[in-house]
Amino acid sequence: MYLAARKPSLAQGVDLIATAAGGVARLRKLILSLAVRGALSRQRLSDESAERLLIHLSQRRREKANSSRAKADPTASDFLIHVTGFALPAGWAWASLSELGSFASGKTPSTGRADYWDGNIPWVTPKDMKATRIAGSEDHVSEKAIADGLVIVPESAVLIVVRSGILRRMVPVAITTMRCTVNQDLKALTLFEPSMAAYVQLMIAGFESFILSNLTKIGTTVESIKFDEFAACHFPIPPLAEQHRIVARVEELMKLCDALVQSGRLADEQHARLTSTLFDALAASESAHALAENWQRIADHFDLLLDRPEAIDALEQTIFQLAVRGLLVPQSARDEPASALREQIRREKDDLVRAGAVRRDRPLPDIGRDCEPFELPTSWEWVKLNEIAIQITDGAHHTPTYVPVGVPFLSVKNLSSGYLDFSDTRFITEAAHAELSRRCKPELGDLLLTKIGTTGIAVVVNDRRPFSIFVSVALIKLPARLLDREYLSLVINSPFVRKQSQDGTEGVGNKNLVLRKIAAFSIPLPPFAEQHRIVARVEELRRLCAQLRERLTHARQTQANLADALVARAAEA
């Protein structure tokens, strides 16, 4: 005969919970929480009660001469305060872990004794506690180490991490499948009834949040469990037969969670493959007509493709790629062609060289017709970056003396976010800044490029305050009347030039994008008027991408809130 089982209203919300951010992890916690409260199993009158089980365990405990006892014995009602509304299911009883078995402590054998190590006995430490079953360990000790005071832990013992930084977020618990010993950061619970091991492990996991909140203390270096209180704390114990049913049910549900995770991974892989294929086709469009056709494929599945942040990021990169290929805005016959613009820039640079304002660049070979990366509109030109830049240099080649207050001294970290960040910078004196400015003087409208460590990020200087830069940042000065700086920043930040940055980066450790490789960047140059139109169009499309991200974040937050509400309601049921 069965007693009525309490069934939480969870089934209708599983899809919502599982697909929310972190949903499967929350679903696992919910399963454990419900299991240790008797909400996933049916109570049977034919089961021998937990009270009888505890009597049997008490008899076995008395037979163990060295059985450990808890120093404190809080009542069951004390525990109930922490689990509001919880009532024991029929046939269950309250018991402390010290009533279920004997605890043993571990230690580290002397590292000065070579004969204590590299034996055949596993020595388990927190680094081995990554699985639910312990079948081996990284380190082993010898029989001599055991003879010198290490405790042998039998098979089917429950190992619990009681001292580790990991206790900030979880309580690792595992079951031994072989004879072993442990270090001082673990406690080994040898149960008077070994077949209870799987349930005890599950029970500790099910009350993990309670343990972390109430039975853990923060140390000077790592967290630790308040062991005496932990060993004496009362937990709800079901009859032995029901324990086995609960374990079997949880294992079944966890396999379903594994399947959810696996299907999610497959969906992510398929989604990434699909978006990559479609966006690559979009970026490779050879004409406005082909672009329209390829875009229609995306538009037909817009809600499916752009349902995650990484897909929106990919779309934004595709927009950059289309921009540098001349496919975002129409060309105008009224625009002066880029060939004329290129000639004007050359004349301006020649004037500056004759005036002694800049040095003449080392000439680089033209981009031959056969070497053009892709076909450009007829009014565009392929150029090397040093052809259209007035100056390409880098910052200080030595570390200056820093002062508490002075002129900001920027490095890669101040540009890696994609904009000038003065919130976390060091300072140099006015004299040091003046000396550095003789060779490298960043000014409003200049272009900066990260070249050491995180390479290839271009930022337009939009701040009038004076500052100096380190060697990890390149300075690119441009002819103000002939080039749109925002367009050139867009080009350098596009996948096309980012690839050139990666290919031009040298070294193994702190990688360096050297100046000669920056100067040799191949740049697609449109007419000056079209540069403005491209920048305006990209800004418009990026605003739309930002709106998509905001809506997606809002939708996911709403979904997560609904999932949390379902979890909370189910746990209270």
Whole-angstrom CA distances from 35 to 42, 92, 248, 268, 558 are 11, 13, 11, 31, 27
Query: Is the pLDDT reported for residue 67 higher than 70?
Result: no
CATH for 48-238 is 3.90.220.20
Domain 338-526 = CATH 3.90.220.20:
yes
Tell me the torsion sign for CA atoms 84, 87, 89, 94. Answer: positive
- What whole-number distance in Å separates Cα of residue 132 and Cα of residue 158? 10
pLDDT value for 117: 92
- Give the confidence band of 569 by pLDDT, cuts at 50, 70, 90: low
- Give the confidence band of 17 by pLDDT, cuts at 50, 70, 90: low
- Give the confidence band of 14 by pLDDT, cuts at 50, 70, 90: low
Query: Is the pLDDT reported for residue 555 higher than 90?
Result: no
- Give the confidence band of 447 by pLDDT, cuts at 50, 70, 90: very high
pLDDT value for 86: 67
Average pLDDT over residues 40-62: 89
Query: Is the pLDDT reported for residue 539 higher than 80?
Result: yes
Provide the mean pLDDT of the chain. Answer: 86
Percent of the chain with pLDDT over 90: 55
- What whole-number distance in Å separates Cα of residue 152 and Cα of residue 4? 44
Query: Is the pLDDT reported for residue 571 higher than 80?
Result: no
More confidently predicted of 279 and 105: 105
- Give the confidence band of 65 by pLDDT, cuts at 50, 70, 90: low
Closest CA to 393 of 516, 502, 281: 516
Query: Is the pLDDT reported for residue 1 higher than 50?
Result: no
Is residue 523 within 8 Å of residue 490, measured between CB atoms? no
Helical residues (DSSP H) of 438-527, grouped into ranges: 485-492, 495-504, 515-519
Domains 48-238 and 338-526 share a fold: yes
Q: What is the pTM of this model?
A: 0.64
Residue 372 CB contacts under 8 Å (≥ 6 apart), including other chains: 382
Residue 409 main-chain phi, psi, to 5 deg: -120, 110
pLDDT value for 189: 96
pLDDT value for 69: 42
pLDDT value for 71: 42
Average pLDDT over residues 283-311: 79
- Give the confidence band of 253 by pLDDT, cuts at 50, 70, 90: confident
- What whole-number distance in Å separates Cα of residue 476 and Cα of residue 469? 12
Is residue 530 within 8 Å of residue 329, measured between CB atoms? yes
Kindly report, residue by residue over 480-536, the tens digit of the pLDDT. Answer: 889 999 999 999 999 999 999 999 888 766 789 999 999 999 999 999 999 999 999
- Give the confidence band of 4 by pLDDT, cuts at 50, 70, 90: very low
Average pLDDT over residues 61-74: 54
Domain range list for the chain: 48-238, 260-326+537-565, 338-526
pLDDT value for 5: 39
